[in-house]
A and B are shown apart, each in its own frame.
Chain A
Amino acid sequence: MSIDVKKRKKSGPWREVWRRLKQNKSAIFGLIVILTLIVVAIFADQIAPYGYDDQNLRARFQTPNGDHWFGTDNFGRDIFSRIIYGAQISLKVGLLAVGIALIVGGTLGAIAGFYGGKLDNGIMRFIDILLAIPSILLAISIVAALGPELRNVMIAVGVGSIPSYARIVRASVLSLRDQEFIEAARAVGASDTRLILKHIIPNSLAPLIVQSTIGVAGAILSAAGLGFIGLGIQPPLAEWGAMLNSGRQYIRDYPHMTAFPGLAIMVTIFALNLLGDGLRDALDPRLKN
């Protein structure tokens, strides 16, 4: 029937999303890069030819060569290995920071949207306060207060992105709450918990997935930014932002020290953004079929 073609709902089953995503070459490229990065991060110990803090003072400032593919830094540490270990940290920060934001923001947004009224007002005004503070400033203050550790960086970056998740979840819960299928479930006697878990969450996942993918990129970038200004992960741990910072003073003579970590950040962010864009298109069949 004509109705069938015309009104394909935003949220078909996941198989269809995957089918559409597969058609998008750049998204698949992004996905492959991300998967490679994840594998590299997991097996960093096996893949990296050197440890991240193996110093070799006789081999300082080497330009890329057969032994050290990306060259060495001012302590003679292998930059290739450090970037591989850096992937571990960056991905961990990115995923966990988004995880924190997603759980806290998502729960707040879902409660605000589902129950409405005063609760909604209270939660959303708190979110507005968070939103009023520039996120990088917030992250800097949190790290400055708690101390520059991996865990604190994740918290700092995560807290900064709570508002956007809260708003997205609240908006989609609001739009779903009055849908007839929710009323239909209520009419057969479904409880609030079942309504939220079975009906609301599965239908609000699409925008969240997109936001999270792009959010991971943002979190990695924020963490690198914190690393760059010295508030992130502390040496000798390998972190891309911190590596950029330490290579900064040698940039005129040894540009490879900044080029490779910079490239690593760029490729990761780029791949995540490609995947995020691809997912957005795949999850919204109104854009294309």
Chain B
Amino acid sequence: MMGEVKGLQPERLLEVKNLKKYFNTKKGLLHAVDDVNFFINKGETLGVVGESGCGKSTTGRVVLRLLEATDGEIIFEGKNIRDYNKTEMRNMRKEMQIVFQDPFASLNPRMSISEIISEPLIVNKVYKDKADRMKRVRELMSTVGLAERLTYAYPHELDGGRRQRIGIARALALKPKFIVQDEPVSALDVSIQAQILNLMDDLQKEFDLTYMFISHDLSVVKHVSDRIAVMYLGKVVELADYNTMFKNPQHPYTQALLSAIPVPRLDVHRDRIILEGDVPSPINPPEGCRFYGRCRYRQSNCLNVTPELKEVGPETFVACHYAGNLKPAII
């Protein structure tokens, strides 16, 4: 599994093992991320999909230690960053960055664009000289396609797409290896979404970046991902590469999700799997399969035994007792 032979097996940049994040709420312990395992290879994009509240954004933040994990390991380039102290973590932040969902809320409204983009450089004391710093800011602005005349503009003067470009420039400033994209395009118009996605694709090639792309929008994830992790109620239920997952989804939840992608053709009729019921509460979830209540194939042991994520094919992992025995529902 840990093969490092280049060309044969890709190098793992990030591996997450048994990651847990619980929140104490008045009603009880909220299992936002519950025993999650996945890995991301160098240079690829891992798409993380799931419906609202399934813990995908929390996972992204816990991986960056913006939120402290309750338990588990976050192994970045072979080292568990959960063991890092404050200083070590601050240095680590240069390697891993985040682009946020809401380009309105994620930029300080009182700072000009140059101030926002230069903040990472100031905080980490990258340049001694202000002129050098400004040169880098201009360079970053042109990299993400922001006109130079906007250097001293304020976020509220710009549209969502440009604001998101600022967020991307800020994330790139420290030349990171890994960027968590937390629904970076879901607040944007569809036409702008395409621009931003293409920009991210170009940047990935240019700077050899690794992305963890969080989204609830399957068509977006389909567009950008090399591998996909499907989350349901704090758990990864399926982890596979793009082709495998779309051709042969194994988990009943994945099957239902994929069947919901609209096909823009009149002559094709697809059997949609309509899920019944609602997502159970993540507060004190019961034993057994989290998807039990909504599953078409449920059996009695699903109620009692929690299915673990197990390898069913090459680099394909599914958390279902009956994976492989279910007929694929996708045409």
Contact = CB atoms under 8 A, between A and B. Distances in A.
A180 B160 contact: no
Chain A: number of interface residues, binned into ranges: 20 to 34
16 contacts: A4-B156, A7-B156, A9-B109, A9-B156, A11-B109, A180-B101, A180-B102, A181-B108, A183-B100, A183-B106, A187-B97, A188-B124, A189-B123, A190-B123, A198-B111, A199-B108
Interface string A170-186: 00000000011101111
A194 B123 contact: yes
Interface string B66-109: 10000000000000000000000010011001101110111111
B109 A184 contact: no
B155 interface: yes
Most buried by A among B94, B119, B154, B156: B156
A3 interface: yes
Interface string A190-214: 1100100011001100000000000
B252 interface: no
Contact of A3 (B98, B119, B124, B159): B159
A9 B104 contact: yes
Interface in B122-176: 123-124, 154-161, 167, 170, 173-174
A203 B107 CA distance: 12
B145 to A, nearest CB: 15
Most buried by B among A7, A8, A187, A189: A187
Given A9-B155, A181-B109, A189-B90, 20 more contacts: A4-B156, A8-B156, A9-B109, A9-B156, A13-B112, A180-B100, A180-B101, A180-B105, A180-B106, A181-B105, A183-B100, A184-B107, A184-B170, A187-B97, A188-B97, A188-B124, A188-B170, A194-B123, A198-B108, A203-B108
Nearest to A190: B123
A8 B64 CA distance: 31
A119 B100 CA distance: 31
A10 interface: yes
A180 B159 CA distance: 18
B243 to A, nearest CB: 33
A180 B61 CA distance: 12
A12 interface: yes
A223 B105 CA distance: 42
A132 interface: no
Contacts of B154: 12-13
Interface residues of B, number: 36
B110 A202 contact: yes
Interface in B273-294: none
Nearest to B67: A183
Contacts of B104: 7, 9
B106 A181 contact: yes
Given A11-B109, A12-B154, A187 B124 contact: no
Given A184-B100, A187-B98, A1 B170 contact: no
B111 to A, nearest CB: 8
A6 to B, nearest CB: 10
Given A10-B109, A179-B105, A194-B123, A184 B98 contact: yes
A118 to B, nearest CB: 15
Contacts of B10: none
Contacts of A190: 119, 123
Interface string A22-41: 00000000000000000000
Interface string A8-22: 111111000000000
A262 to B, nearest CB: 42
Interface of A: 1, 3-4, 7-13, 179-181, 183-191, 194, 198-199, 202-203
Nearest to A10: B109
B307 interface: no
A108 B120 CA distance: 29
Contacts of B102: 180
A187 B107 contact: no
Nearest to A11: B109
B66 A187 contact: yes
A214 B319 CA distance: 62
Contacts of A189: 90, 93-94, 120, 123-124
Given A4-B158, A7-B156, A12-B156, A188 B119 contact: yes
B97 A1 contact: no
A1 B106 contact: no
A179 to B, nearest CB: 6
Contacts of A184: 98, 100, 106-107, 167, 170
A255 B64 CA distance: 73
A246 B13 CA distance: 82
Given A1-B160, A189-B120, A12 B66 contact: no
Most buried by B among A180, A185, A188, A189: A188
B103 to A, nearest CB: 9
B187 to A, nearest CB: 9
Contacts of A8: 156
Contacts of B119: 185, 188, 190
A79 B173 CA distance: 65
Contacts of A194: 123
A188 B105 contact: no
Nearest to A15: B154
A192 to B, nearest CB: 11
Most buried by B among A8, A12, A13: A13
Nearest to B110: A202
A202 B154 CA distance: 14
